[in-house]
Amino acid sequence: MLRLAGVFLAAVLIFFGIRAFLVPKSFGEYGHYRGDAIAEIAALPLVHAGHQSCETCHTEILETKSKGKHEGVACEACHGPQAKHADDPGSILPIKPDAGVLCAQCHEASAAKPKWFPQVAAAEHSGGVVCSTCHNPHHPLDFGG
């Protein structure tokens, strides 16, 4: 019986030895997890630049947009993620969105959409003419001049 106990004790000690070696050092720093994971996730690359960085260069468009109905619409909501462009504005140029497809995603009329939201049945509204023909995407209800 003593021999058996001895075998078990040895196994337990070996286990703790291996454990000290294998458990990641930052484990338990903030809780029952690897503390380094937080920093690793925090360091993931940005894909969207965020509208503040667009506004540092494109101030005129910002001024136009802030006067109209699209004031609260962030640039990347239509133009897509542009972190690469913001990082290197000269060489990486965003592709202009296709107004024929993009505008309808929000503004095509549907009974499912809330009543307060401006929506039209495009076929009746413009008879197939692309939205940007009449509407300035940055100031949609400005038809002047």
Report the interface residues with other proteins, using CB under 8 A. Answer: 1, 3-4, 7-8, 15, 19, 22-24, 27, 30-34, 37-53, 55-57, 59-60, 70, 72-74, 76-77, 80-81, 83, 86-87, 105-106, 108-114, 116-117
Q: How far is the CB of 28 from other proteins (least distance, A)?
A: 8
Q: How far is the CB of 13 from other proteins (least distance, A)?
A: 15
Q: How far is the CB of 134 from other proteins (least distance, A)?
A: 20
Q: Compare residues 69 and 96 and give the one whose CB is closer to other proteins.
A: 69
On whether the CB atoms of residues 82 and 54 are closer than 8 A, the answer is yes
On whether the CB atoms of residues 89 and 83 are closer than 8 A, the answer is no
Query: Which amino acid, one-letter code, is at 101?
Result: V
Q: Compare residues 20 and 144 and give the one whose CB is closer to other proteins.
A: 20
Q: Compare residues 80 and 130 and give the one whose CB is closer to other proteins.
A: 80
Q: Compare residues 12 and 129 and give the one whose CB is closer to other proteins.
A: 12
CA distance 75 to 65: 10
The number of beta carbons lying within 10 Å of the beta carbon of residue 76 is 20
Q: How far is the CB of 143 from other proteins (least distance, A)?
A: 21
Q: For the chain, percent helix, then strand, then coil, each to nearest 5?
A: 50, 5, 50
HEC string for 4-53: HHHHHHHHHHHHHHHHHHHCCCCECCCCCCECHHHHHHHCCCCCCCCHHH
Q: How far is the CB of 5 from other proteins (least distance, A)?
A: 10
Q: Compare residues 9 and 144 and give the one whose CB is closer to other proteins.
A: 9
